[in-house]
Amino acid sequence: MSQLRTRFAPSPTGYLHIGGLRTALYSYLYAKKNNGKFILRIEDTDQGRYVEGAVELIYRTLRETGLTYDEGPDVGGPYAPYIQSERKNEYLKYAKQLVESGHAYYCFCTEERLNSLPSVNGARKYDKHCLSLSKEEVEKRIAAGEKYVIRQNMPTEGSSTYHDVVYGDITVDNSELEDQILIKSDGMPTYNFANVIDDHLMNINCVMRGIEYLSSTPKYNYLYDAFGWERPMYIHMPPIMKDAQHKLSKRNGDASYEDLISKGFVKEAIINYIALLGWSPKDDTEKMSFEELQSKFSVEGINKSPSIFDPVKLAWLNGLYIKEMDEDTFRKYAQPWIEKSKLNGKFDTAKLCALIHSRIETFAEIEQKLDFLVTFGDYDTELYVNKKQKTTVEQSREVLPLVKQAFEKLDGDSWNNQNLYNALLQLAMDKGWKNGQVLWPARIALTGLQSTAGGASDIADILGKKETMRRIDYSIKLLSKAK
């Protein structure tokens, strides 16, 4: 086979959703694996659904995620233009060629007539009414300025079979194939027509797309055959579900790449997770860098069955990527999240980062996980009772004033995590307590919470002496009233 050429052909109708990004990813990986080319084509023939800014978002997302296209609207290439609206004039020429050869025909039917056709399972099938119009009549009506579309003339009997790499041989009854519109009354081609013309003209020999196109593909194959063009190889991908019943779909506003970024996921984890939505490597590895994806990807690993978008698994994977970040990288990501939280400007960023780095799965958790640093007040003193740490309310009442005394001795530079920690351990030793019998009440006294990121000394270090002392005093008071 000549050089492999795959394409990603999104319609600029809004955010780049997970399904679209997966198509782009698989098409990219498959092309690269085979030393082929990956092409971006913008399918904007449905002007009614065009969303301002969507094209730029597609470019940006592909660039950001490393899905670099070899040819595309903004990078050019030998088959430019790569935006369908800029290729508008091409399509009519090809449609007319099909009319000449009897594979397509002009149709003048009005909305009204189309709406009066019998509906079968909610769909009205066109009845080939205009197929019988003579050439002269067609010309006369066009000259008179009548509105028309051009329809594909489908066979009505027999069946059509083609091979899909994932789903095997697909057979569709020709009676199910509609005389689909190729050119609309505004002169624009439909997606159904333009994708075939462009795939051929752009030399695309491998078409990868969502399973929703599986049953339309025979219609496209009739177009290839009518022109005498070679059909591409087809790779349809399994649906991505929200749950067992519902598809993850952009129309009902489900996750887009941008949404995930704004929820605190990192692009490496998103791409890694998306790769697993419908594909797995032979060795079943789950965490894979972009380079590993490139070396492990194979179409044999694409599953037929639907995959469920599982936010919990994505978060788990994201957590692994966060944990392996070095300090600087973590800080670069965490900084904007800290800045837009209530923590902003109140604490030392490096200390906050050290405290939280190993304890979050997404950056969005920072604010909630560290909220105790800015929020402190009445809490249940039962928290001092901890069987495992052997602490009680009574014993904590004895511990806290001593913690206060120990902390009093530290100040300025000596007020640091290590010294604070040592002071607590020293206290335990002096009194013959277990470490937990000091550490547990000290941490509760500073946070009023059963569990927090970090221990008493980490927290005291970040809070600073004044706030630490205020909280200990508050807790001593609270305990004095407890039973």
User: Active-site residue numbers?
Assistant: 250
Cβ closest to ligand GLU, residue 50 vs residue 213? 213
Taking CB under 6 A as the criterion, the residue among 6, 65, 190, 195 binding ligand GLU is 195
Taking CB under 6 A as the criterion, the residue among 4, 5, 6, 11 binding ligand GLU is 11
Span near ligand GLU by CB under 6 A; candidates 7-15, 64-72, 141-149, 448-456: 7-15
Contact 446, 403 (CB under 8 A): no
Cα torsion 67, 72, 74, 78: sign: positive
Least distance CB 180 / ligand GLU (angstroms): 14
Least distance CB 12 / ligand GLU (angstroms): 9
Least distance CB 165 / ligand GLU (angstroms): 15
Contact 159, 110 (CB under 8 A): no
Cβ closest to ligand GLU, residue 165 vs residue 374? 165
- Number of Cβ atoms within 10 Å of the Cβ of 427: 21
Cβ closest to ligand GLU, residue 17 vs residue 443? 17
What is the C-alpha to C-alpha distance for residues 18 and 437, in angstroms, rounded to an integer? Answer: 50
Least distance CB 151 / ligand GLU (angstroms): 20
Least distance CB 279 / ligand GLU (angstroms): 17
72 lies in the binding site for ligand GLU (CB under 6 A): no
Stretch 83-112 residues interacting with ligand GLU (CB under 6 A):
none
Cβ closest to ligand GLU, residue 236 vs residue 443? 236
Cβ closest to ligand GLU, residue 203 vs residue 349? 203
SS (H, E, C) the chain: CCCCEEEECCCCCCCCEHHHHHHHHHHHHHHHHCCCEEEECECCCCHHHCCCCHHHHHHHHHHHCCCCCCEECCCECCCCCCEHHHHHHHHHHHHHHHHHCCCEEEECCCHHHHHHCCEECCEECCCCHHHHCCHHHHHHHHHCCCCCEEEECCCCCCEEEEEECCCEEEEEEHHHCCCCEEECCCCCECHHHHHHHHHHHCCCCEEEEEHHHCCCHHHHHHHHHHHCCCCCEEEEECCEECCCCCECCHHHCCCEHHHHHHCCCCHHHHHHHHHCCCECCCCCCCCCCHHHHHHHCCHHHECCCCEECCHHHHHHHHHHHHHCCCHHHHHHHHHHHHHCCCCCCCCCHHHHHHHHHHHCCCCCHHHHHCHHHCCCCCCCHHHHCECCCCECHHHHHHHHHHHHHHHHCCCHHHCCHHHHHHHHHHHHHHHCCCHHHHHHHHHHHHHCCCCCCCCHHHHHHHHCHHHHHHHHHHHHHHHHHCC
Question: 308 forms bridges with which residues in the sheet?
Answer: 241
Cβ closest to ligand GLU, residue 10 vs residue 455? 10
209 lies in the binding site for ligand GLU (CB under 6 A): yes
Least distance CB 210 / ligand GLU (angstroms): 7
Cβ closest to ligand GLU, residue 43 vs residue 461? 43
Span near ligand GLU by CB under 6 A; candidates 3-11, 289-297, 344-352, 412-420: 3-11
- Number of Cβ atoms within 10 Å of the Cβ of 155: 12
Q: Which amino acid would we find at residue 7?
A: R
Task: Count interface residues toward ligand GLU (CB under 6 A).
Answer: 8
Span near ligand GLU by CB under 6 A; candidates 6-14, 152-160, 439-447, 456-464: 6-14
Least distance CB 344 / ligand GLU (angstroms): 40
Span near ligand GLU by CB under 6 A; candidates 5-13, 61-69, 157-165, 277-285: 5-13
Cβ closest to ligand GLU, residue 172 vs residue 214? 214
Least distance CB 297 / ligand GLU (angstroms): 18
Closest CA to 44 of 181, 188, 152, 185: 188
Stretch 175-194 residues interacting with ligand GLU (CB under 6 A):
191
Least distance CB 291 / ligand GLU (angstroms): 26
Stretch 312-351 residues interacting with ligand GLU (CB under 6 A):
none
Contact 275, 313 (CB under 8 A): no
Taking CB under 6 A as the criterion, the residue among 4, 5, 6, 10 binding ligand GLU is 10
Span near ligand GLU by CB under 6 A; candidates 4-12, 153-161, 330-338, 464-472: 4-12
Tokens coding 333: 């990501």
Cβ closest to ligand GLU, residue 232 vs residue 455? 232
43 lies in the binding site for ligand GLU (CB under 6 A): yes
Cβ closest to ligand GLU, residue 11 vs residue 65? 11
Say how many CA atoms lie within 13 Å of 262 toward its Cβ: 6
**Residues 140-179, mask of contacts with ligand GLU (x by CB under 6 A):** ----------------------------------------
Stretch 210-239 residues interacting with ligand GLU (CB under 6 A):
213
Span near ligand GLU by CB under 6 A; candidates 9-17, 150-158, 221-229, 247-255: 9-17
Contact 154, 173 (CB under 8 A): no
Least distance CB 41 / ligand GLU (angstroms): 8
Q: State the residues that interact with ligand GLU by CB under 6 A.
A: 9-11, 43, 191, 195, 209, 213
